[in-house]
Structure 1
Amino acid sequence: MPYEPTPDLASMSLAEVADAVAARKLPPVSSWNPENTGDSEMRIAADGTWYHQGSKITRPAMVRAFSSLLRREGDTYWLVVPYQKLSIAVDDAPFVAVDVTRHEVDGAPVLAFRSNTDDLVTADADHPIFARGDPDTPALYVEMRDGLLARLDRSTYAQLAEIAIARGGEPLAVESRGAVFPLTPE
Structure 2
Amino acid sequence: MGRPQKQRIIPKEQAVFWMDKDGTWHNEHGKLEHPKIIRYFNQSIQKDGQGYFLCQILDDVEERVYFPYEDTAVFVVDLVRKGTGIELALNTLDAIALDPESLYINGDALFMETDDHLIKFSQKALAQMAAFLTDTPQGLALNYGQIQTIIHEK
Deviates more, 1:156-165 or 1:78-87: 156-165
* SS class of match (2:67): strand
Match of 2:23 in 1: 48
* SS class of match (2:133): helix
Question: 1:113 and 1:48 mapped to 2: Cα distance?
Answer: 15
Kept in 1, the 8 Å contact 2:42–2:93? The answer is no
* SS class of match (1:81): strand
Give the superposed CA RMSD: 3.9
* SS class of match (2:23): coil
Counterpart among 33, 39, 47 of residue 64 in structure 1: 39
Kept in 2, the 8 Å contact 1:130–1:185? The answer is no
Q: Give 1:145 deviation, angstroms.
A: 9.1
Q: Which runs of 5+ in 1 are unaligned?
A: 1-30
Match of 1:27 in 2: none
Match of 2:142 in 1: 174
Question: 2:33 and 2:150 mapped to 1: Cα distance?
Answer: 35
Query: Which one-letter code corresponds to 1:71 in the other structure?
Result: Q
* CA 121–175 in structure 1, closer or farther in 2 if over 3 Å, else same: farther
Question: 1:120 and 1:62 mapped to 2: Cα distance?
Answer: 20
Q: Give 1:157 deviation, angstroms.
A: 2.6
Please report the TM-score for the alignment, with normalisation by the length of structure 1.
0.56
* CA 129–78 in structure 1, closer or farther in 2 if over 3 Å, else same: same
Query: Which one-letter code corresponds to 2:104 in the other structure?
Result: A
Question: 1:145 and 1:63 mapped to 2: Cα distance?
Answer: 26
1:123 matches 2:106: no
Which structure's residues are more often helix, by fraction? 1
Match of 2:9 in 1: 37
Query: Which one-letter code corresponds to 1:164 in the other structure?
Result: L
Percent identical among aligned pairs is 20
Match of 2:69 in 1: 90
Q: Give 1:93 deviation, angstroms.
A: 2.1
Kept in 2, the 8 Å contact 1:95–1:150? The answer is yes
Question: 1:155 and 1:36 mapped to 2: Cα distance?
Answer: 36
> Size of the alignment, in residue pairs?
143
